[in-house]
Amino acid sequence: MSDTTKWRERYGPWGLVTGASDGIGREFARQLAKRGLNLVMVARRREVLDGLALELGGKYGIETLVIAADLGRAEEAQRVCEETSSLDIGLLVASAGFGNSGPFLSGSLAQELNMIDVNCRAVTAMSYHFGKRFVQRGRGGLVLMSSLLAFQGVPRAGNYAATKAFIQTLAEALRIELAPAGVDVIASAPGPTQSGFADRANMRMSMAATPEVVAAATLKSLGHKTTVRPGFLSKFLEFSLSMLPRWGRVRVLGLVMGGMTKHQNDQDKTQAGGSA
Protein backbone atom coordinates (compact mmCIF):
# COMPACT_ATOMS: atom_id res chain seq x y z
CA MET A 1 0.00 0.00 0.00
CA SER A 2 1.44 3.38 -0.99
CA ASP A 3 2.05 6.16 1.51
CA THR A 4 -0.63 8.23 -0.25
CA THR A 5 -3.20 5.45 0.07
CA LYS A 6 -2.40 4.90 3.74
CA TRP A 7 -2.80 8.56 4.63
CA ARG A 8 -6.02 8.95 2.69
CA GLU A 9 -7.49 5.81 4.26
CA ARG A 10 -6.51 6.92 7.76
CA TYR A 11 -7.41 10.59 7.57
CA GLY A 12 -9.44 11.14 4.42
CA PRO A 13 -8.87 13.37 1.40
CA TRP A 14 -8.31 16.78 3.04
CA GLY A 15 -5.97 18.25 5.65
CA LEU A 16 -5.94 21.76 7.11
CA VAL A 17 -2.74 23.55 8.12
CA THR A 18 -2.70 26.85 9.98
CA GLY A 19 0.40 29.02 9.86
CA ALA A 20 1.10 27.57 6.42
CA SER A 21 2.80 30.65 4.97
CA ASP A 22 6.27 29.93 6.37
CA GLY A 23 8.42 27.87 8.71
CA ILE A 24 7.10 24.66 10.21
CA GLY A 25 3.56 25.18 8.93
CA ARG A 26 4.76 25.59 5.36
CA GLU A 27 6.76 22.37 5.65
CA PHE A 28 3.78 20.48 7.07
CA ALA A 29 1.82 21.59 4.01
CA ARG A 30 4.54 20.36 1.67
CA GLN A 31 4.86 16.97 3.36
CA LEU A 32 1.10 16.40 3.48
CA ALA A 33 0.82 17.34 -0.20
CA LYS A 34 3.53 14.80 -0.95
CA ARG A 35 1.36 12.21 0.81
CA GLY A 36 -1.49 13.07 -1.53
CA LEU A 37 -3.77 15.05 0.80
CA ASN A 38 -5.70 17.99 -0.56
CA LEU A 39 -4.98 21.04 1.55
CA VAL A 40 -6.68 23.98 3.20
CA MET A 41 -3.90 26.45 4.01
CA VAL A 42 -4.51 29.24 6.51
CA ALA A 43 -2.35 32.26 7.32
CA ARG A 44 -2.54 36.04 7.22
CA ARG A 45 -0.62 36.55 3.95
CA ARG A 46 -2.82 35.49 1.05
CA GLU A 47 -0.22 36.20 -1.63
CA VAL A 48 2.26 33.80 0.00
CA LEU A 49 -0.40 31.12 0.36
CA ASP A 50 -1.47 31.57 -3.26
CA GLY A 51 2.11 30.93 -4.38
CA LEU A 52 2.39 27.83 -2.20
CA ALA A 53 -0.95 26.52 -3.46
CA LEU A 54 0.21 26.93 -7.05
CA GLU A 55 3.48 25.15 -6.29
CA LEU A 56 1.94 22.18 -4.45
CA GLY A 57 -0.99 21.80 -6.80
CA GLY A 58 1.30 21.69 -9.80
CA LYS A 59 3.86 19.36 -8.25
CA TYR A 60 1.57 16.84 -6.54
CA GLY A 61 -1.75 17.26 -8.37
CA ILE A 62 -3.71 18.07 -5.24
CA GLU A 63 -6.63 20.43 -4.68
CA THR A 64 -6.05 23.45 -2.48
CA LEU A 65 -8.09 26.08 -0.69
CA VAL A 66 -6.43 29.25 0.58
CA ILE A 67 -7.97 31.17 3.49
CA ALA A 68 -6.36 34.42 4.60
CA ALA A 69 -7.20 34.83 8.29
CA ASP A 70 -5.78 36.40 11.44
CA LEU A 71 -6.36 33.71 14.07
CA GLY A 72 -5.76 36.24 16.83
CA ARG A 73 -9.36 37.32 16.21
CA ALA A 74 -12.07 34.95 17.41
CA GLU A 75 -14.35 35.59 14.46
CA GLU A 76 -11.58 34.67 12.03
CA ALA A 77 -11.06 31.21 13.52
CA GLN A 78 -14.83 30.70 13.34
CA ARG A 79 -14.81 31.81 9.71
CA VAL A 80 -12.20 29.18 8.86
CA CYS A 81 -14.42 26.50 10.39
CA GLU A 82 -17.45 27.74 8.47
CA GLU A 83 -15.69 28.07 5.10
CA THR A 84 -14.46 24.46 5.29
CA SER A 85 -17.74 22.88 6.41
CA SER A 86 -18.35 21.27 3.01
CA LEU A 87 -14.91 19.59 2.84
CA ASP A 88 -14.13 16.14 4.21
CA ILE A 89 -11.27 17.33 6.41
CA GLY A 90 -9.69 14.61 8.51
CA LEU A 91 -6.45 16.18 9.74
CA LEU A 92 -5.83 19.49 11.52
CA VAL A 93 -2.28 20.76 11.91
CA ALA A 94 -2.50 23.75 14.24
CA SER A 95 0.87 25.29 13.46
CA ALA A 96 0.01 28.99 13.67
CA GLY A 97 1.62 30.71 16.63
CA PHE A 98 4.27 33.16 17.70
CA GLY A 99 6.46 34.03 20.65
CA ASN A 100 8.50 36.84 22.08
CA SER A 101 11.39 37.15 24.50
CA GLY A 102 12.73 39.42 27.16
CA PRO A 103 11.48 40.45 30.61
CA PHE A 104 7.71 40.03 30.90
CA LEU A 105 7.10 43.53 32.26
CA SER A 106 9.18 45.14 29.53
CA GLY A 107 6.90 43.93 26.76
CA SER A 108 3.53 45.02 25.47
CA LEU A 109 0.45 43.74 27.29
CA ALA A 110 -1.49 43.83 24.03
CA GLN A 111 1.08 41.56 22.40
CA GLU A 112 1.07 39.15 25.34
CA LEU A 113 -2.71 38.86 25.20
CA ASN A 114 -2.65 38.45 21.42
CA MET A 115 -0.17 35.61 21.88
CA ILE A 116 -2.65 33.85 24.16
CA ASP A 117 -5.38 34.39 21.55
CA VAL A 118 -3.32 32.88 18.72
CA ASN A 119 -1.43 30.17 20.60
CA CYS A 120 -4.23 29.00 22.92
CA ARG A 121 -7.71 30.30 22.17
CA ALA A 122 -7.63 29.72 18.41
CA VAL A 123 -6.10 26.25 18.82
CA THR A 124 -8.73 25.35 21.40
CA ALA A 125 -11.58 26.59 19.21
CA MET A 126 -10.38 24.74 16.13
CA SER A 127 -9.55 21.56 18.05
CA TYR A 128 -13.08 21.60 19.48
CA HIS A 129 -14.72 22.19 16.11
CA PHE A 130 -12.70 19.71 14.08
CA GLY A 131 -12.47 17.22 16.94
CA LYS A 132 -16.26 16.96 16.89
CA ARG A 133 -16.23 16.48 13.13
CA PHE A 134 -13.57 13.78 13.37
CA VAL A 135 -15.44 11.90 16.09
CA GLN A 136 -18.60 11.93 13.97
CA ARG A 137 -16.74 10.55 10.93
CA GLY A 138 -14.92 7.94 13.06
CA ARG A 139 -11.37 8.90 12.09
CA GLY A 140 -9.09 11.91 12.07
CA GLY A 141 -6.02 13.53 13.55
CA LEU A 142 -5.00 16.63 15.52
CA VAL A 143 -1.41 17.89 15.45
CA LEU A 144 -0.86 20.51 18.14
CA MET A 145 2.41 22.44 18.41
CA SER A 146 3.91 22.35 21.87
CA SER A 147 7.54 23.29 22.60
CA LEU A 148 10.63 22.30 24.51
CA LEU A 149 9.70 25.26 26.75
CA ALA A 150 6.30 23.78 27.64
CA PHE A 151 7.50 21.62 30.51
CA GLN A 152 8.60 24.32 32.97
CA GLY A 153 8.55 28.07 33.43
CA VAL A 154 11.14 29.90 31.32
CA PRO A 155 12.43 33.31 32.41
CA ARG A 156 12.51 35.82 29.53
CA ALA A 157 9.89 33.77 27.68
CA GLY A 158 7.37 33.32 30.46
CA ASN A 159 4.12 33.92 28.63
CA TYR A 160 5.18 32.00 25.52
CA ALA A 161 6.22 29.00 27.62
CA ALA A 162 2.90 29.19 29.45
CA THR A 163 0.94 29.12 26.19
CA LYS A 164 2.83 26.02 25.11
CA ALA A 165 2.29 24.36 28.48
CA PHE A 166 -1.42 24.87 27.85
CA ILE A 167 -1.17 23.17 24.44
CA GLN A 168 0.93 20.30 25.80
CA THR A 169 -1.60 19.59 28.54
CA LEU A 170 -4.54 19.86 26.15
CA ALA A 171 -2.97 17.41 23.70
CA GLU A 172 -2.17 14.87 26.41
CA ALA A 173 -5.78 14.86 27.57
CA LEU A 174 -7.34 14.84 24.10
CA ARG A 175 -5.28 11.88 22.99
CA ILE A 176 -6.89 9.75 25.71
CA GLU A 177 -10.38 11.17 25.21
CA LEU A 178 -10.50 10.89 21.42
CA ALA A 179 -8.61 7.64 20.82
CA PRO A 180 -11.71 5.41 21.30
CA ALA A 181 -13.40 7.39 18.49
CA GLY A 182 -10.52 6.74 16.09
CA VAL A 183 -8.95 10.20 16.37
CA ASP A 184 -5.16 10.52 16.73
CA VAL A 185 -3.74 13.44 18.74
CA ILE A 186 -0.09 14.38 19.11
CA ALA A 187 1.85 17.21 20.74
CA SER A 188 4.97 18.18 18.81
CA ALA A 189 7.55 19.76 21.12
CA PRO A 190 10.56 20.92 19.10
CA GLY A 191 13.44 22.95 20.41
CA PRO A 192 15.04 25.81 18.47
CA THR A 193 14.00 25.62 14.81
CA GLN A 194 15.25 27.44 11.71
CA SER A 195 12.12 29.41 10.87
CA GLY A 196 10.76 32.93 11.06
CA PHE A 197 9.93 32.37 14.73
CA ALA A 198 13.30 33.51 16.06
CA ASP A 199 13.23 36.80 14.15
CA ARG A 200 9.75 37.67 15.39
CA ALA A 201 10.66 36.66 18.96
CA ASN A 202 13.94 38.67 18.75
CA MET A 203 16.04 35.62 19.66
CA ARG A 204 19.29 34.27 18.27
CA MET A 205 19.43 30.48 18.03
CA SER A 206 22.23 28.03 17.34
CA MET A 207 22.08 24.28 16.64
CA ALA A 208 18.50 24.70 15.45
CA ALA A 209 16.52 21.93 13.77
CA THR A 210 15.07 22.45 10.31
CA PRO A 211 11.33 22.67 9.66
CA GLU A 212 11.72 19.55 7.49
CA VAL A 213 12.96 17.54 10.47
CA VAL A 214 10.18 18.82 12.73
CA ALA A 215 7.37 18.08 10.27
CA ALA A 216 8.72 14.67 9.23
CA ALA A 217 9.25 13.44 12.80
CA THR A 218 5.83 14.69 13.87
CA LEU A 219 3.92 13.06 11.03
CA LYS A 220 5.86 9.82 11.50
CA SER A 221 4.86 9.73 15.19
CA LEU A 222 1.20 10.69 14.70
CA GLY A 223 -0.95 7.82 15.94
CA HIS A 224 1.96 6.26 17.83
CA LYS A 225 3.02 8.77 20.48
CA THR A 226 1.46 11.38 22.73
CA THR A 227 4.47 13.71 22.44
CA VAL A 228 7.28 13.85 19.92
CA ARG A 229 10.45 15.90 20.41
CA PRO A 230 11.85 16.47 16.91
CA GLY A 231 15.54 17.15 16.40
CA PHE A 232 18.73 16.19 18.20
CA LEU A 233 18.86 19.23 20.48
CA SER A 234 15.32 18.73 21.72
CA LYS A 235 16.04 15.09 22.59
CA PHE A 236 19.38 15.98 24.21
CA LEU A 237 17.85 18.69 26.38
CA GLU A 238 14.96 16.40 27.32
CA PHE A 239 17.45 13.83 28.63
CA SER A 240 19.61 16.42 30.36
CA LEU A 241 16.76 18.31 32.01
CA SER A 242 14.86 15.18 33.07
CA MET A 243 17.41 14.61 35.85
CA LEU A 244 16.71 18.01 37.40
CA PRO A 245 13.85 19.06 39.69
CA ARG A 246 11.39 21.48 38.12
CA TRP A 247 12.98 24.52 39.80
CA GLY A 248 16.32 23.41 38.38
CA ARG A 249 14.90 23.19 34.87
CA VAL A 250 13.51 26.71 35.27
CA ARG A 251 16.96 28.01 36.24
CA VAL A 252 18.80 26.19 33.45
CA LEU A 253 16.40 27.27 30.72
CA GLY A 254 16.51 30.79 32.11
CA LEU A 255 20.26 30.75 31.49
CA VAL A 256 19.75 29.31 28.00
CA MET A 257 17.17 31.95 27.18
CA GLY A 258 19.45 34.62 28.59
CA GLY A 259 22.11 33.56 26.12
CA MET A 260 19.70 33.62 23.18
CA THR A 261 18.53 37.13 24.12
CA LYS A 262 21.84 38.64 25.25
CA HIS A 263 21.91 40.83 22.15
CA GLN A 264 18.79 42.61 23.45
CA ASN A 265 20.84 44.08 26.30
CA ASP A 266 23.43 45.28 23.80
CA GLN A 267 20.69 46.85 21.69
CA ASP A 268 19.27 48.62 24.75
CA LYS A 269 22.71 50.02 25.63
CA THR A 270 23.22 51.24 22.07
CA GLN A 271 19.83 52.93 22.00
CA ALA A 272 20.44 54.51 25.41
CA GLY A 273 23.80 55.83 24.25
CA GLY A 274 22.30 57.21 21.08
CA SER A 275 19.58 59.09 22.92
CA ALA A 276 21.83 60.57 25.58
CA distance 14 to 254: 41
CA distance 14 to 6: 13
Helix (H, G, I), strand (E, B) or coil at 1: coil
Check 6, 11, 132, 160 and give the catalytic one. Answer: 160
CB-based contacts of 243, cutoff 8 Å, min separation 6: none
CA distance 144 to 221: 13
164 is catalytic: yes
128 is catalytic: no
- Residue 273 parent element (H or E): helix 262-275
| β-pair type (14-18, 140-145) | unpaired
Check 11, 164, 220, 235 and give the catalytic one. Answer: 164
CA distance 137 to 151: 33
| Active-site residue list | 160, 164
